[in-house]
Amino acid sequence: MERNWADLLPELLGSCSQGLCPNDLSAFRAVCRSWRSAAVEESSDVPWLMLADKKGKRCREFFCLQCQRVHKKFMPEVKARRCFSSRGWVLTIGRDWELHMLKNPMSRGSHIINLPNLNKFPDIEVENLRRYYHSYGAFINKFVISDSPTTSPDFRVMVTYYYDARLGLWKPGDEEWTKVDHPSSFNFDVIFYRGCFYALNANGHILRCDVNGPTPSKAQVVFEMPRDLLGLEQMYLVQSTTGSLLVVSRRGQYRPRGTFRFHVFEIDLVAQSWRGIKTLKNSSLFLGWNSSFSLEVDEKHHIKPNCIYFTDDFIDNSRVTKDGGGKDMGIYHLQDGTIEPHFQGKSYSHYSPPLWIEPNF
């Protein structure tokens, strides 16, 4: 007797749909009406690795940590464009100087937000912009949003831009970017933390910009980290899964063999103190061209705890090496300092190397 798969019990179908990655869940829903109605709500607790841009391709490949497979998604909006990510949203920058924000590519549906072009940044002459942008292949170094635009219409966007990583701010309705006044120093990273934007500069200073306060376009120093602890390469700000503020120092990007060590520090802004962190316990960090984030993990995630998942975000190396950026990636184990790959394939680009997409719909 032939079996009608559409007549399977909804409870069984719902159980089968649990634990599927977004791509497989989408295929599950497409089987028939009964499967679609019985499937669990679309969600994901696992980041995807957005692989490097392939010249001439209108599809982008994503590596899913959960199912350990590469999935293709039709995304003509990111073709030949530099990409960054924050809270699951992707910022694209093209040689036409246009900037767009795209809704999480792991979710169904599309949502595109247009931002002011690169020539709408203050204090930048167009001729200097043209020379710098075409030389380095990018004008923006970091991109962060305060909230998801689909749930919060009052979201804000902050970026670091130009060769000295200035801070730029934008909100819906603005026709130009606003320059944020701050102490003169290169800003390594920016995050949105407890209602404010925080930046970490090359002097080890943590700056706070309260966009809802009386001076929304000014960032002030709220903490000074001993600079000799941080090294001279890349640094990150991350909110831990318990809500504390972390500073992460990365070593080895300037070396031919790449990253070899990370140091993690917990910052107490109230007590004006810091301490070294030897373990992340049951959580892991995700660093790179994305706005840094942390996740609490368990066996179903297929993500290793007490690790740092990192991608290649050394732009100078991406420009000058033969194949481009994308080689210096892996999983750093805090317990013993060992490094293993998280993606076994090759994914290189001079212009748009791999980056993490946060699981935030």
Q: What is the mean pLDDT of residues 129-155?
A: 79
Q: What is the DSSP letter of 291?
A: P
* Distance (Å, whole) CA 99 – CA 82: 10
| pLDDT for residue 39 is more than 60 | no
The token pair at 294 is 């942390």
Q: Is the dihedral of CA 176, 181, 184, 186 positive or negative?
A: negative
Instruction: Supply the pLDDT for residue 1.
Output: 43
pLDDT tens for residues 287-319?
999 999 999 987 677 899 999 999 999 876 666
- Per-residue confidence at 180, pLDDT binned at 50, 70, 90? very high
Cβ(347)–Cβ(52) below 8 Å: yes
* Distance (Å, whole) CA 45 – CA 33: 26
Alpha-carbon distances of 15 from 8, 9, 36, 64, 229, rounded to whole Å:
11, 10, 13, 21, 49
Alpha-carbon distances of 261 from 185, 277, 280, rounded to whole Å:
24, 14, 15
Alpha-carbon distances of 187 from 121, 130, 135, 232, 293, rounded to whole Å:
17, 22, 20, 12, 18
Instruction: Supply the pLDDT for residue 249.
Output: 94
- The total of other beta-carbon atoms located within 10 Å of residue 316's CB is 11
Which is more confidently placed, 27 or 324?
324
* Distance (Å, whole) CA 160 – CA 166: 5
Instruction: Supply the pLDDT for residue 68.
Output: 87
Residues in Cβ contact with 56 at an 8 Å cutoff, skipping those fewer than 6 apart: 79
pLDDT tens for residues 57-90?
888 999 988 888 898 888 888 888 889 999 999 9
* Distance (Å, whole) CA 276 – CA 278: 7
* Distance (Å, whole) CA 273 – CA 271: 5
Can you give 199-251 as a three-state secondary structure string?
EEECCCEEEEECCCCCCCCECEEEEECCHHHCCCCEEEEEECCCCCEEEEEEE
Instruction: Supply the pLDDT for residue 32.
Output: 66
Q: What is the mean pLDDT of residues 271-300?
A: 92
Cβ(191)–Cβ(237) below 8 Å: yes
Angle between helices 10-17 and 22-29 (to 10 degrees): 150
Specify the pairing of strand 307-310 against strand 283-287.
parallel
Residue 284 buriedness (CB in 10 A; 0-12 / 13-18 / 19+) = buried
- The total of other beta-carbon atoms located within 10 Å of residue 345's CB is 10
CA-angle at 265, arms to 261 and 267, nearest 5°: 160
* Distance (Å, whole) CA 261 – CA 203: 20
Which is more confidently placed, 129 or 263?
263
Alpha-carbon distances of 65 from 44, 233, 250, 303, rounded to whole Å:
11, 28, 23, 7
What's the whole-number average pLDDT of the chain? 85
